[in-house]
A = this chain, B = another copy of it.
């Protein structure tokens, strides 16, 4: 086609868009919430002289409190070292060996993991820049042919990652074709009936759960592993909130369960326990025992993916991670989680006083509040209008999230207290 372009022809790019991108429904949940918040703020401007006009966010699960001193010092020292001949370091695809060893020691001790086979070697622990990023990358292990099952509701990245890699069918009203949604409802205590779990599928399972706040018991997790092994499924276990567990009877990793190493990998993160949402550090455990249907080792492929399209987490973040796993660092993690759990207790009791049925908030920073018969986005809008509080509509996490609202306990204490007072306007 001749035009007046400097090239004497049209010059348009004729490379096609990945059809999986078109299949990805609407925006990712949190940008959509941010958009609605901006719209509301534009029509209801905040007035610094009137604190009651301030919009308070109990929406995104983004940490808000400063890092504690020992961990901060570890990060700063990690940075300072890079300016020295002895301390400088470059690429480290799979992570600092010391950090891999420390994670294995602290979170997967031989005693804790005895039921599944004892300790882990550092070759089974891979350092990442966070759980979300690893969930994106792990799609490459299974590709477009995978069949995924998720808790419903669940963290949107499992499904969105599956859509991007082409492992989901088209969207139809409340969910994607080809994805099995396992309802977690008030009726089943937020632990799903596993009978619809398809054979040979990839099962994403998060506990303590985002968004319901429910933490699986040892019996439930044993049932889950049993069902997975019976059906030839591979579990991607997301333990990003494990450090919020306060009930000593609850398992903190799937590797406390017999038979788990042969059917599960575990994703975890420093984001929520250590406040590293901006620092970016996480890990994934891929047991040497874990194999695909064809017998190939998943662990070897994960190392290969790390080397091929990833270059490792920041060495400064890793230095901070090492500090976080020292005795003092672990005490700081406990202190930080306890602070957010304090927020969670306030939010939950405020809601319960209003007669709103809730789960979560005890072993999790999320409270899952039920508004029977109501539409999630409508309740979201009402809370925003009446209370100037941003929440997350439950339907954004899956069809069974309809009529629920997720409250996040990540916030300063004064803001959370003020939000709790304002919630009384909902009556």
**Chain A positions near chain B (C-beta within 8 angstroms):** 5-7, 9, 11-22, 24, 27-28, 30-31, 60, 62-69, 72, 75-76, 78-80, 82-85, 87-92, 129-130, 132-133, 135-137, 140-146, 157, 160-161, 164-166, 199-202, 226, 229-234, 258-259, 262-263, 275, 277-280, 290-294, 296, 301, 304-305, 307-317, 320
CB neighbours (8 Å) of A279 from chain B are 82, 314-316
CB neighbours (8 Å) of A65 from chain B are 88
Find out whether the CB atom of A292 lies under 8 angstroms from the CB atom of B13.
yes
- Complex: A154 Cα to B64 Cα, angstroms: 43
Find out whether the CB atom of B89 lies under 8 angstroms from the CB atom of A67.
no
Find out whether the CB atom of B166 lies under 8 angstroms from the CB atom of A143.
yes
Contact of A309 with B11 at beta-carbon distance under 8 Å, contacts A27-B304, A85-B66, A141-B21 already known: no
Contact of A88 with B67 at beta-carbon distance under 8 Å, contacts A13-B291, A16-B145, A157-B309 already known: yes
Return 6 A-B CB contacts under 8 Å, by A number.
A11-B262, A24-B304, A72-B83, A88-B278, A278-B314, A280-B314
- Complex: A78 Cα to B339 Cα, angstroms: 24
Find out whether the CB atom of B7 lies under 8 angstroms from the CB atom of A226.
yes
Find out whether the CB atom of B311 lies under 8 angstroms from the CB atom of A314.
no
Find out whether the CB atom of A132 lies under 8 angstroms from the CB atom of B7.
no
Look across to chain B and name the residue whose beta carbon is closest to the beta carbon of A307. Answer: B28
Look across to chain B and name the residue whose beta carbon is closest to the beta carbon of A13. Answer: B234
Known: A18-B140, A21-B143, A65-B88. 18 other contacts (CB 8 A): A5-B229, A7-B226, A12-B232, A13-B263, A14-B233, A15-B200, A20-B143, A66-B87, A67-B83, A75-B79, A75-B82, A130-B311, A132-B310, A136-B137, A144-B144, A280-B313, A280-B315, A314-B317
Find out whether the CB atom of B129 lies under 8 angstroms from the CB atom of A28.
no
CB neighbours (8 Å) of A89 from chain B are 278
CB neighbours (8 Å) of A314 from chain B are 129, 278-280, 313-314, 316-317
A260 CB to closest chain B CB (Å) equals 11
Look across to chain B and name the residue whose beta carbon is closest to the beta carbon of A140. Answer: B164
Contact of A6 with B259 at beta-carbon distance under 8 Å, contacts A17-B294, A308-B161 already known: yes
Look across to chain B and name the residue whose beta carbon is closest to the beta carbon of A291. Answer: B13
Find out whether the CB atom of B79 lies under 8 angstroms from the CB atom of A66.
no
- Complex: A129 Cα to B165 Cα, angstroms: 21
Find out whether the CB atom of B83 lies under 8 angstroms from the CB atom of A309.
no
A165 CB to closest chain B CB (Å) equals 8
Most buried by B among A17, A165, A262: A17
Find out whether the CB atom of B146 lies under 8 angstroms from the CB atom of A310.
no
Look across to chain B and name the residue whose beta carbon is closest to the beta carbon of A318. Answer: B278
Contact of A136 with B15 at beta-carbon distance under 8 Å, contacts A6-B259, A85-B66 already known: no
CB neighbours (8 Å) of A296 from chain B are 17, 22
Find out whether the CB atom of A277 lies under 8 angstroms from the CB atom of B21.
no
Find out whether the CB atom of A11 lies under 8 angstroms from the CB atom of B293.
no
- Complex: A226 Cα to B8 Cα, angstroms: 10
CB neighbours (8 Å) of A137 from chain B are 136, 309
A130 CB to closest chain B CB (Å) equals 5
Find out whether the CB atom of A133 lies under 8 angstroms from the CB atom of B311.
yes
Look across to chain B and name the residue whose beta carbon is closest to the beta carbon of A66. Answer: B88
A298 CB to closest chain B CB (Å) equals 8
CB neighbours (8 Å) of A301 from chain B are 17, 21
Find out whether the CB atom of A263 lies under 8 angstroms from the CB atom of B90.
no
- Complex: A83 Cα to B276 Cα, angstroms: 11
